[in-house]
Amino acid sequence: MPETSVSVTLLAHTPDPLALVYAAFRQCYFAGSVADMWPRLLKGEISRQKQAELVDRVMASGHTSPIEHVSFTFALSGVSRALTHQLVRHRIASYSQQSQRYVDATDFDYVIPPKIAANPEAKKLFTACMAQVGEAYTALKQLLEEGGSAKEDARFVLPQAAASRIVVTMNCRSLLNFFEHRTCMRAQWEIRDAAGKMLAICRDVLPEIFTAAGPRCERLGYCPEGSFSCGRFPARDAG
């Protein structure tokens, strides 16, 4: 049962994302149909700089709904069930997660928190616990084989540290919200790591939207967490 760590892969994103966002913004203020301008956008007749300037100007006014037309799909692996339980709280998004009901978890991979990994005594205790869980899972699965629900019921002993794989799709607006919360220093270390990797990919694909993405404190210039602030920015209550 090897230990593992988070890996993020971009599976797909909306083609021509900046052009699509620009067209969506233009349609809101344009008397004609942006379908007529779409071929020009794809040919590069409207410069990327001009597109970016309009998008930046309108988003600065608080009008962000048109960026929902662009989405990103990621494959996350080597992540714990503790992470995915946090991840699926985010809406609007779509998720497809590896099933412990159908996938055999014998010799399951697991995630070790850094503080435990850095403490030899704690790591020894942790890995011994994982080994005991693995033995219990295998024994339960063997005992339940005749009933036809072996993996389904044996999975109940698996820990939050058990590694999982999940596909997640979010539109740009949801991603901005996700990054505000999960790249924050107060976010749990594992999902902060995953969010940082996802943000780096988004910035590479669509810098016009994601260059300034990140924790709310960086955008606001203060921390809205009040007494929970990490101290990086001056604290202030959001209300």
Number of residues written out for the chain: 239
Distance CA 30, CA 153 (A): 58
Q: What tokens does 102 get? A: 């159908």
Known active-site residue 26:
no
Per-residue CA distances from 89 to 31, 92, 179 (Å): 39, 9, 13
Distance CA 166, CA 123 (A): 26
Which residues contact residue 121 at a Cβ distance below 8 angstroms, ignoring those fewer than 6 apart?
none
Which uninterrupted H or E stretch holds 144? helix 120-144
Pairing between β-strand 93-97 and β-strand 71-80 as defined by DSSP bridges? unpaired
The answer to whether 90 and 175 are in contact (CB under 8 A) is no
CA-based nearest residue to 164, from 235, 87, 222, 89: 87
The answer to whether 125 and 75 are in contact (CB under 8 A) is no
Among the listed residues 182, 186, 216, 219, the single catalytic one is 182
Pairing between β-strand 7-13 and β-strand 71-80 as defined by DSSP bridges? antiparallel
Q: 3-state class of 97 per DSSP?
A: strand
Phi, psi (deg, nearest 5) at residue 142:
-65, -40
Cite the active site residues: 182
